[in-house]
């Protein structure tokens, strides 16, 4: 049943968490199906779906309703994530073949540990505790996947400074994650 009353464009343009949650609820299953049909790999489909919504959340301030439908914008992000994953997969397979390496198979314990490390709530809390310049640099480069030179130009600083902010911020997050174990 579709949530009615407010358009996707209004939900995506709003800045509150509840609006994005409603947008997510409307689109998560269709987006997951989009990836499942194209990858034929449930785990990869779930990963790509999560990456797509994370990028949409991080970049929703860039969405412009006059440029097109919110769903089309979301699927545009999804298509880019899919293309990136396919490119990474091809390069990874080629490199493994060239080096004579087998693909690493993960145990159930490995998967649980990875899921714990990837806990979005914990990562969000860790990011919120960073200095604003580090938090903004990580959001721009890691979440929004923007190149260092573009971020540096926007901030009117050098690329080296942006790289240092990302590096120091991620190091600080790793350090804090290690202290929780």
What is the model's pLDDT at position 77? 94
Summarize the confidence of residues 159-171 as an average pLDDT. 85
Q: How confident is the model at residue 101 (pLDDT cuts 50, 70, 90)?
A: low
| pLDDT digits 0-9 by tens, 67-93 | 888 999 999 999 999 888 887 775 566
The yes or no reply on domain 110-181 and CATH 1.10.10.10 is yes
Q: Percent of the chain having pLDDT more than 90?
A: 18
What mean pLDDT is reported for the chain? 79
| Domain ranges, ordered by start, for the chain | 1-104, 110-181
Q: According to the model, what pLDDT value does residue 2 have?
A: 52
The per-residue pLDDT for range 33-47, each reduced to its tens digit, is 888 888 877 778 888
pTM > 0.85: yes or no:
no
State the distance between the two ends of the chain, measured CA to CA, in whole angstroms: 42
Specify the higher pLDDT residue, 160 or 142.
Answer: 160
Residue 23 CA to residue 71 CA, distance in Å, equals 9
- Calculate mean pLDDT across residues 162-169: 85
CATH of domain 1-104: 1.10.1740.10
Q: Return d(Cα 130, Cα 169) in angstroms, integer.
A: 7
């Amino acid at each position: 049943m579709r949530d009615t009353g407010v358009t996707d464009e209004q939900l995506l343009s709003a800045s509150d968490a509840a609006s994005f949650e409603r947008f997510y609820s409307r689109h998560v299953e269709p987006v997951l199906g989009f990836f499942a049909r194209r990858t034929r790999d449930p785990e990869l489909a779930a990963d790509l779906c999560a990456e797509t919504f994370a990028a949409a959340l991080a970049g929703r301030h860039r969405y412009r309703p006059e440029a097109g439908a919110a769903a089309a914008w979301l699927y545009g992000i999804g298509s880019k994530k899919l293309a990136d994953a396919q490119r990474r997969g091809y390069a990874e397979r080629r490199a493994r073949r060239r080096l004579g390496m087998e693909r690493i198979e993960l145990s159930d314990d490995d998967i649980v540990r990875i899921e714990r490390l990837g806990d979005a709530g914990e990562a969000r809390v860790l990011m919120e505790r960073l200095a604003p310049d580090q938090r903004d640099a990580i959001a721009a480069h890691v979440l929004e996947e923007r190149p260092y030179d573009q971020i540096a130009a926007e901030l009117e600083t050098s690329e080296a400074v942006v790289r240092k902010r990302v590096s120091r911020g991620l190091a600080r997050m790793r350090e804090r994650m290690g202290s929780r174990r």
